[in-house]
Amino acid sequence: MSLIELREATAGYNGHKILHDVSLSIRQGERVALVGRSGAGKSTLLRLFYERVKGDAALVPQDFGLVKALSVFHNIYIGRLNKHSVWRNLANLVKPLQSEVDGIRPVAARLGLEEKLFDSVGTLSGGQQQRTAVGRALYQQETILLGDEPVSSVDEHQARTILESIADSKKTVILAMHDTALALEYSDRVVALRDGRVVFDETCDGMTPADLKPIYGG
C-alpha cells in the first residue's frame, strides 16, 4: 500500500523550476534515501513530501529549527507540543515535570545528549544541536520521519548512532543524504536526483557506492 504518492509533480521558487515531473510512491515502513549533488532538488522534494503528509510526519530541517534559548529537554519536548494542553505545556516550561523528564531522558541518552539535557541549545556544538533536532523528531509521535541531511554536522561514529536510532524507531523514513555509503547501509531504497529529475530508483540490496558514481557525473 502506498503511503505517499507523487505523480508528475513539479515544484520551484519564484517561477524558477527546481523539480520536473517527479513520480514517486513511498510505501509504509520503507526507509528511503534521497541522494544527488547539492542543488539537485533533494530539499525541495523533501519539502514536497512534508507538505503532503504534514499532520503525520516529523521533520529534521537542514537548519535544525531549534529554539536556541531553550534547553535540550524543552527542544525535544516541542516534538509533542500538540499532545498536551497549553496549561501542562506552560507548567513544563516553567519547571520540567518529572514524568516528562523520565520520558525524554532515554531519547537524549540514546543520542549521547544525557549530560547536556538541561543546557540551553545555543551553547551546544553544531553536532549536539543536530542530535537534539533528531531527538525532537524521534520523540514526536508521528509515523513518518523526514530528514534533510540529518547527519551533516556529526562524525561517522555519531552518524551511525543517529541513523541506527532512526531505523529502530520503526517509522517510515525519508532522508536526504550526502554520504552514499551510509545512505546504502541504512536504507532499503535509494532515489537519486539530478537536475530536478529522478534518474535512479532502486532497492539497496547488494548495491555499492560505486554503482551510484555515475549519478554524480563521476
Partner 1 sequence: MEAVWRSSPTVRTSLIFLAVALACLAVADIAITTVHPWTEMGRLVAGIFTPNFFATENLGMALVLTVAFAILGVAIGNFLGFLLALVFHSRVVRVGCAFVRAVHELFWALIFLQIFGLSPLTGILAIAIPYAGIIAKVYAEILEEADKRPLQAVPAGSSRASVFLFVRLPDVWAHFKNYSMYRLECGLRSSAVLGFVGLPTLGFYLETAFRQGQYSEVSALLILFYVIIASMRVWMKKPLLPVYILISLLVLPWGAAKIDSANIVRFFTQDIVPHPIRTAETIDGEALAALWRWFEHLLVGQAIPGAIDTLLLTMIALVASGMLALAFFPLISPLFYGRFGRSAGHVFLVVVRSTPEYILAYIFLQLWGPSMLPAIVALALHNGAIIGHLVGRYTEEMKLRSDASHGLNLYAYEVTPRLYGQLLAFLFYRWEVILRETAILGILGIATLGFYIDSAFADIRPDRALFLILLTALLNIGVDALSRAIRARLHLRTTIEQG
**Smallest distance, Å, CB 46 to partner 1?**
12
Q: What are the start-end ranges of the E strands in 52-205?
A: 57-60, 144-148, 172-176, 189-194, 197-203
Among 129, 140, 180, 187, which residue interacts with partner 1 (rule: CB under 8 A)? 140
The window from 63-71, 102-110, 169-177, 206-214 that contacts partner 1 (CB under 8 A) reads 63-71
- Answer for which of 2, 39, 51, 54 binds partner 1 (CB under 8 A) is 54
Quick one: residue 132, left, alpha or beta (phi over 0 = left, psi -120 to 50 = alpha)? alpha
> Which amino acid is present at 78?
I
DSSP string, 103-142: HHHHHHHHTT-GGGTTSBGGGS-HHHHHHHHHHHHHHS--
Q: Which is nearer to partner 1, 97 or 207 (CB)?
A: 97
Nearer to partner 1 among residue 147 and residue 194 (C-beta): 147
Task: Specify the residue, 138 or 198, whose C-beta has the smaller distance to partner 1.
Answer: 138
Which residue, chain included where needed, has cell 524558477?
A: 16
- Output the CA–CA distances (angstroms, integers) from residue 112 to 95, 157, 159, in the order listed: 23, 11, 12
Nearer to partner 1, 80 or 189 (CB): 80
Using CB under 8 A as the binding rule, whether residue 138 contacts partner 1 is answered as no
Which part of the chain contacts partner 1 (CB under 8 A), choosing from 9-17, 75-83, 108-116, 175-183? 75-83
Distance of CA 28 to the CA centre of its chain: 16
Euclidean distance between CA atoms 164 and 181, whole angstroms: 14
Interacting span for partner 1 (CB under 8 A) from 23-31, 79-87, 101-109, 149-157: 79-87
Contacts with partner 1, residue ranges (CB under 8 A): 54-55, 58-61, 63-70, 74, 77-86, 89-90, 93, 133, 136-137, 140, 142
